[in-house]
Structure 1
Amino acid sequence: MADRIVLNGELVEQGEISLPVNSEGLSYGYGLFETIKIRDGRLCFFNEHCERHKASVFAAGMSLGFSNKDLFWQARSLIEASSVVDGALKIVTAKSGSKNLTYLHFKRTSKIDNQRPTRIRLSSLVKGSSAFTVKHKTLNYMDNISELSLAEEHGFDECLFTNERGELTECSMANIFFERSGAIQTPSLDCGLLDGIVRAKVIKIAKESGLSVLESKFYPEDLEDSERVFITSSGKGIAPVEEVDFGRILRFDDEVSGVVKVLSSRFDELERESLGQYAE
């Protein structure tokens, strides 16, 4: 599965390509990426991911050079050539001198087992709320990866960040939600976090279902009187959280029931519908 990639629109063997070691993408993490779930050999929320990628590439002062339709057929050719049924595809655009490189390849699946609840550890690393790297999926992901690894070393599945004001932001690979005071609550984007594709879908579903949704500034202590906590990402969808450790252990209702069940059921429907997307 990992032997082939698409490089600037061409399907090639991975072992046959070389990337310049002094490129800005490799040397400084100057690039953007998207991770798209593959379900039944098809791409989930493909157009949404492409639109976000294009916006981030433009914000970074680069150009993509491919339309959604171009990327769609490149991804389809790679999936079919590699006979992938379920997994994840990455679209990467990186700076290399006066040119940009766009390549597609498969990503290993998350270590989190969706059949069991997630355990989260509060990270001591502080994220800057106005940093470009917290609002876009850049190749400079060292903070996220190292803090996730540290959490895993302590027996947890994820880590949770705060910003310079002590406000909750997001996890290393997911957005966070909690059910509290009769509302679905989640940190607002101005706290410094990625505008997640699944995050946006969950907020929309909740509002359409008549649930109260509050995007605001929250602190670790606000989790103390929450009934449920769950995280969202393209790979995991909606995953319930069993435990959060921020100096003391908080435990939550980890059953896929109530509000979480309503959201999960409707999200699954939307994800299935998105498999029929055709990039316009």
Structure 2
Amino acid sequence: MRDPTTSPGMVTLWQDGRWIKEGEFSINPGDRGLLHGLGLFETILAVDGNPKFLGKHLRRLRESCQRLGWKSLEYSFESIIRELLQRNQLEIGRAKVRLALTAGSGSIRDLNSGANRSVWLTAEAAGTEMESIAVDISPWVRNERSPLSGLKCASYAENLLALEHARNAGFEETLFLNTSGKVCEAATANVFAVVAGKLFTPQLSSGCLPGITRAVVLELARQLGIDAREADIDLGTLVSATEVFLTSSVQGPVPVCRIGERRLAIGTLFHRIRGAWTGRVEPNSEWR
């Protein structure tokens, strides 16, 4: 159903409680999200107009706000997202919804201030699902001791530069080690490895994001009877794994076909996980 107030090709956004056209979006030039990258965001998969795992996303955002000393948001995001998808004719198929929040304007000496903090939602088609992915090891490391560790923070330049470096070398993603030399995460995803029939993913103390799909996959693995563990993973263990896959909210689990020059097969454990995840995000699934 088309929103009668928009014409074909016109993108509708939601910002600070009101519906606007794309060209009407504005942000205070003194907003510390704009000036310093002090903000948070969530990327949410929607299938046939239904935002998947929304409760988990909002819980993570709420916990991140608490870490930064910000007040929680009081909007009814589920109904807003459903209307956003409808207004942009994205109620059929897969869509990517982005929820963003800035620090607002204020002194850099008082980060909890920011009465004009801005929040907005956008939506677009999710694009093609990836069949497999080639990754390299980033020359830069993730600082697990950073105050931003574990936050889905708006200051994403480090990730983008590392991703560009990998793509210039012929890869589609890159993996970060942390300052202790342990595997942390990919630039835009969490990482899993199958070693001796067991499923491993870096523990949160590695500095990785507490990914929504990461948590779902751990839960699915245990339901399937797979021995799944959060652990320290060194690079040698990763490159000797029989299977490796990445997880993100929109793509879900995606198998790694190559790490550097080493090629990997797409194994049976991955297919079990992927099948279970697909069942959870099907249009009629009520799993949240």
Q: Same fold (TM over 0.5)?
A: yes
Residues 125 and 221 of structure 1: is their aligned pair in 2 closer, same or farther, counting only changes over 3 Å? same
Q: After superposition, where does 1:1-280 map in structure 2 within 5 Å?
A: 3-67=11-75, 70-84=76-90, 85=92, 86-97=94-105, 98-99=114-115, 100-106=117-123, 109=126, 114-115=130-131, 117-245=132-260, 249-254=261-266, 257-272=267-282, 276=286
SS in 2 for 1:173: coil
**Cα distance per residue 1:110-168 (max 9 Å; x no partner):** 7x7513x2100110111111223330101011100111111111111100001111110
Q: Distance between the aligned counterparts of 1:128 and 1:273, measured in 2?
A: 38
How far apart are residue 39 of structure 1 and its match? 1.4
Residues 28 and 234 of structure 1: is their aligned pair in 2 closer, same or farther, counting only changes over 3 Å? same
Q: Distance between the aligned counterparts of 1:119 and 1:102, measured in 2?
A: 35
**Cα distance per residue 1:223-270 (max 9 Å; x no partner):** 23211111111111110110011xxx221112xx51111111111112
Identical pairs, percent? 24
Residues 214 and 22 of structure 1: is their aligned pair in 2 closer, same or farther, counting only changes over 3 Å? same
Unaligned runs of 5+ in 2: 1-8, 106-113
Q: Distance between the aligned counterparts of 1:17 and 1:213, measured in 2?
A: 44
Residues 207 and 273 of structure 1: is their aligned pair in 2 closer, same or farther, counting only changes over 3 Å? farther
How far apart are residue 193 of structure 1 and its match? 0.5
Q: Distance between the aligned counterparts of 1:219 and 1:105, measured in 2?
A: 38
Q: Distance between the aligned counterparts of 2:256 and 2:160, measured in 1?
A: 20
Q: Distance between the aligned counterparts of 2:15 and 2:182, measured in 1?
A: 40
Moved more, 161-170 or 73-82: 73-82
SS in 1 for 2:118: strand
Cα-Cα RMSD: 1.9
Q: Distance between the aligned counterparts of 1:80 and 1:133, measured in 2?
A: 34
Does structure 2 retain, via aligned residues, the 8 Å contact 1:2–1:106? no
Q: Distance between the aligned counterparts of 2:216 and 2:172, measured in 1?
A: 23
SS in 1 for 2:154: coil
The number of equivalent residue pairs is 269
Unaligned runs of 5+ in 1: none
Moved more, 91-100 or 24-33: 91-100
How far apart are residue 199 of structure 1 and its match? 0.6
Q: Distance between the aligned counterparts of 2:52 and 2:37, measured in 1?
A: 26
Amino acid across the alignment from 2:77 = L
SS in 2 for 1:135: coil
Residues 55 and 2 of structure 1: is their aligned pair in 2 closer, same or farther, counting only changes over 3 Å? farther
How far apart are residue 200 of structure 1 and its match? 0.7
Amino acid across the alignment from 2:121 = L
Amino acid across the alignment from 2:218 = I
SS in 1 for 2:135: strand
How far apart are residue 81 of structure 1 and its match? 0.7
TM-score (norm 1): 0.90
